[in-house]
Amino acid sequence: MDPVRNPYAPGAGQRPPELAGRDRELQQFEVVLERVARGRPERSMIITGLRGVGKTVLLNTFRSMAMQKLWGTGKIEARPEQSIRRPVAAALHMAVRELAPRHRAPERIEHFLGVLKSFAQAGEEPGGKGRARAHRWQPGIDVPAVRGRADSGDLEIDLTELFVDAASVATDLGVGIGLFVDEMQDVPADDVSALCAACHELSQIGGPLIVVGAGLPHLPTVLSASKSYSERLFRYARIDRLDREAADQALIAPAAREGVEFTPEALDALYEAADGYPYFVQAYAKVAWDVAPASPIGAADVEVAAPEAESELAVGFFGSRYERATPAERDYMRAMAMLGDDPVPTAAVAAELGRKPSSLSPARDGLIKKGLIYSAERGLVAFTVPHFGKFLRAQPT
Ligand SMILES: Nc1ncnc2c1ncn2[C@@H]1O[C@H](COP(=O)(O)OP(=O)(O)OP(=O)(O)O)[C@@H](O)[C@H]1O
Ligand SMILES: [Mg+2]
């Protein structure tokens, strides 16, 4: 059928034509927004899940919900070994710019921007010349920096002061500020701890600023290793494969809007192939639509589409990640794959490779850093990418 009208959207962070199966999380977040704006005690939300289950999409949806309530919002994507100071500064700059036109006291906004400027600059190497100078942050804030606030150089103190000030700007308007953090497991350890401490402080004074995160399944472990009270700061919403009803909904609703249907057998075959994983649902549906000559899309169309969808996934979803691994890391993952699809003991991986467990730590740590595997429990590792074991087992060695 007409590829131009094809509604399906496989791709990282691509907004799906139908956000299926996430009603509970959306309702919970609605409550969070209302309570926080009213200064009620409330835990913020952290979305966790495997690759391609829709964390980024849900985080973006949360952000839109906050914007609809006229909140100021900003988003960062964490990167390993990169301090969050500047990204957070840029995100809060964005958030406050959204609020500024509605604020009655321009000098309050100006003061905040001055604090923000010195916060951003406090991260710079002292006495830095030449190269460091070249990297000087150009925030496009044309107010003088306000010295002595949020600029101690200690991120925990500075973030707390910055958050408190940002929250008070939002309080003037009866709204809140949402800072959205994607790939949160990659925030460096010291910064995670500073971020939790700042959120903790805010929650105690009822300041309407929340940090909403998304990350891999071991994110709760990362947070509680950093601050023991993190469980009381955040409500963890683990999102997973769509159940049959939601997966069907993700397929049927967008097609119906184009006047296209699926036969029940086609829906069976698509669920079998995609296993309810949102990325796969989009990928198979996209090809099935293109190969089907006319509505309804039938089981035979899905059968024709499957190999093409699989080869696209092999390149775009699996292959692109596999490429990032070093040869030693690839051996490690292949050994994991041979041991099945459940989390496997690291000792068993070592035994499979005939190596001492300690000699494999660099490979394991490298894979965790690259977000290809995770360890949610001591001594166990698992793939972050659904069906990755199956993909690896199908590769020629
Ligand atoms: N609830 C949903 N219903 C239907 N499709 C969805 C849903 N959530 C996400 N998708 C689709 O799944 C794909 C992956 O979504 P997204 O990039 O948000 O996943 P992710 O969890 O952030 O993955 P990663 O860990 O790789 O960043 C996208 O193509 C998106 O359109
Ligand atoms: Mg994502």
CB of 7 within 6 A of ligand 1: the answer is no
Q: Token pair 């989390």 is at which residue?
A: 343
- Alpha-carbon distance 287 to 214, whole Å? 29
Cβ atoms 118, 157 nearer than 8 A: no
Angle (nearest 5°) at CA 9 between 393 and 392:
5
Taking residues 127-144, report their average pLDDT.
59
Q: Token pair 């690291």 is at which residue?
A: 346
**Chain segment 264-295, per-residue pLDDT in tens:** 999 999 999 999 999 999 999 999 999 999 99
Please give the pLDDT value at position 129: 46
* Residues of the chain by 3-state class (helix, strand, coil), percent to 5: 55, 10, 35
CB of 278 within 6 A of ligand 1: the answer is yes
Highest mean pLDDT: which range of 135-139, 149-153, 259-263: 259-263
116 CA distance to ligand 1 centroid (A)?
A: 33
**Chain segment 194-205, per-residue pLDDT in tens:** 999 999 999 999
Q: Which of 22-36, 71-85, 220-234, 379-393 has the lowest mean pLDDT?
A: 220-234
What's the one-letter identity of residue 65? M
Residue 179, token pair as written in the block: 């800072």
Residue 305, token pair as written in the block: 């589409």
Pairing of the two strands 234-238 and 44-48? parallel
Cβ atoms 77, 266 nearer than 8 A: no
Q: Token pair 């990418």 is at which residue?
A: 385
Residue 15: nearest ligand to its CA?
1
**Chain segment 356-397, per-residue pLDDT in tens:** 999 999 999 999 999 999 998 899 999 999 999 999 999 887
- Alpha-carbon distance 276 to 238, whole Å? 15
DSSP letters, 381-395, are EEESSTTHHHHHHTS
Nearest CA-CA partner of 47 in 236, 277, 210, 276: 236
Helical segments of 257-360, H only: 264-274, 278-291, 299-313, 320-322, 327-338, 346-353
For residue 371, the ligand 1 atom closest to its alpha carbon is 25
Pairing of the two strands 380-383 and 344-345? antiparallel
- Closest C-alpha residue for ligand 1 atom 12: 279
Please give the pLDDT value at position 132: 46
